Every structure is written in C-alpha cells, then in structure tokens.
C-alpha cells in the first residue's frame, strides 16, 4: 500500500481555473489485535506498520520491552476485506497470561490523526505509568536549533504531498539516526520508538526527539516511556505537555525556528 496516491484537483490561480493532478497522503485504518481480539484502530499512513504497532503498544503499556512480544503478523484469514490493514500481535510470557486484564484496563477506540493517547482510561494512569528520567545528557543550543532542518531533509513523502508530519531520533551532537513520516505526529513517534523496541535498543537516554508541528501530552508521554530526555518541536507545546515534561524529567523545547527556541522544562540540559 502506497504512502500517497494520485488525485484529481481543480486549481484556481489568479482567477484562472485548470484541471490538474496532485499527490495526496494516504490515510488508512490499522486495526491492532491482541491474540485475535480487537484492541484498537489507529488512523495512519501505511508504512512501518509493525514498528507503529510495537511503539503504540509500548506507549499503551501492553508491552514493557521486546521480551513481551512473540510476533506481529498480518491478518492470515483470506476472508478479511482489507488484510493489509490488520495486524495480530501475539504476546509472550507473563503478558500473554495477563491478556484479559490488559484488555479490561483499556477501552477499544478509533483514533484520528491528532489523538495519540487512545487506549488509556485516565490521564492520572498515564502519569503513574511514566517513570522519571534521570539523564546527564547535555545539548548545545546550536544543535537544537538545527534539528528541524535536518529532520525536514528526511521528509521525502512530505515533499510530494505536503501532508505528513515527521519524527526524528537524533544523537546528542545532532546526528539523525532514524526518522518516520505519518499523518499523525504521534504515529511517527511510535514508528521511531517501535523500531528501537524491535531492535532491543531501549531505553534511549542519550538521544533527542524532534517532531514537526506542536508537542502534545501524548508525544511527551511516548518519549518519556522510551527514556528520551529531550523533546524539541517547531511549534508550541500544550499545557499538559509542559506539565507532564516537568513531572517526568523531560527537557521540552518549542518554537525551534530561525536559530532560536523556548525551553519550557528542565533547561539545565541545554548548553
């Protein structure tokens, strides 16, 4: 399934109407099942679906690490209408034994592109589940200021469609290690973190996360669960994002543009 497709448009420029073709970012539902039982439906851009599912389940605390995961497979039933949009996750060890409890503590919902905290019952539960970060990482101001432009260089689908957000994982000196695009910032973050979970590379206590757009509560929550101590964005954070970052020890940076930025929490990490 492609990340974008060709569509017909009518363009109006300077009073002139023309018929043309354009590229639009793909939005499709991804149903995530646990042992064949429906758990959540996530609206996403196809691509890196296994990583997205792993990162999503990690942020939902269904998975606490790679050892909790036995398999992630496409729907095997030939009668399924859209098997490419269904993933069945098999848990391992104690998580499999706790399947009924896991399902009972979460509600099945459909998320949209702007909502990432989709399965948790209360904000208080998320706060309680998110450990405080203790990282001695230091980041130069010039390094932070350059993150959005380096992330932008990795947004190939955005160049074609103009319709996707991105998340990038960086080293402390600003090297881009991984990036993902999606209609939702939180999905892009899940893809990046999920890839690291599948590679048994968590926690990420010496890495930086940069996201396009604003920073919301769920972005900070996902980063904190992965151990990421610094989150930067080109736009503003929400009040809940600021409160959670302060609570869990994340350095939250916003409005990173034109060589400047605002540091909202834990500024000591910025040199």
DSSP string, 68-118: GEEEEEE---TT-S-GGGEEEEEE-HHHHHTHHHHHHTS---EE-TT----
The pTM assigned to this predicted structure is 0.85
pLDDT band at 104 (very low <50, low <70, confident <90, very high): confident
Higher pLDDT, 233 or 24: 233
Mean pLDDT throughout 228-252?
Answer: 93
Where exactly are the structural domains of the chain? 28-121, 141-269
Domain 28-121 has CATH 3.90.78.10: no
Its CATH architecture, for the domain 141-269, is 3-Layer(aba) Sandwich (3.40)
**Residue 115 annotated among the catalytic residues of the structure:** yes
The residue among 63, 62, 60 whose CA lies nearest residue 197 is: 63
pLDDT higher than threshold 80 for residue 160: no
Domain 28-121 shares a fold with domain 141-269: no
Catalytic residue among 75, 115, 118, 210: 115
Higher pLDDT, 210 or 185: 210
pLDDT higher than threshold 60 for residue 119: no
pLDDT band at 109 (very low <50, low <70, confident <90, very high): very low
Mean pLDDT for the chain overall = 86
Please return the burial class of 14, using the count of CB atoms within 10 Å of its CB with bins 0-12, 13-18 and 19+: exposed
Mean pLDDT throughout 233-250?
Answer: 92
């Amino acid at each position: 399934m492609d990340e974008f497709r060709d569509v017909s448009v009518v363009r109006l420029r300077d009073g002139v109407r023309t018929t043309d073709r354009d590229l639009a970012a793909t939005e499709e539902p991804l149903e995530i099942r646990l042992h064949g039982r429906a758990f959540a439906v996530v609206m996403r851009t196809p691509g890196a679906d296994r990583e997205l599912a792993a990162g999503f389940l990690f942020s939902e605390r269904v998975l606490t690490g790679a050892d909790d995961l036995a398999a992630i497979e496409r729907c095997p039933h030939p009668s399924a209408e859209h098997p490419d949009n269904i993933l069945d996750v098999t848990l391992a060890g104690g998580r499999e034994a706790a399947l009924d409890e896991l399902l009972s503590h979460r509600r099945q919902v459909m998320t949209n592109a702007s909502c990432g905290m989709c399965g948790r019952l209360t904000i208080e539960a998320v706060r309680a589940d998110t450990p405080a970060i203790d990282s001695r990482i230091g980041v130069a101001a010039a390094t932070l200021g350059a993150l959005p432009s380096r992330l932008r260089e990795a947004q190939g689908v955005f160049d074609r469609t103009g319709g996707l957000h991105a998340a990038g994982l960086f080293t402390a000196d600003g090297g881009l290690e991984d990036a993902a695009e999606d209609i939702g910032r939180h999905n892009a973050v899940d893809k990046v973190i999920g890839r690291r979970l599948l590679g048994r590379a968590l926690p990420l206590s010496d890495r930086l996360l940069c996201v396009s757009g604003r920073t919301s509560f769920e972005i900070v929550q996902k980063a904190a669960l992965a151990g990421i101590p610094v989150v930067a964005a080109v736009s503003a954070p929400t009040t809940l994002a600021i409160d959670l970052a302060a609570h869990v020890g994340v350095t939250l940076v916003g409005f990173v543009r034109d060589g400047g930025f605002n540091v909202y929490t834990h500024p000591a990490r910025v040199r």
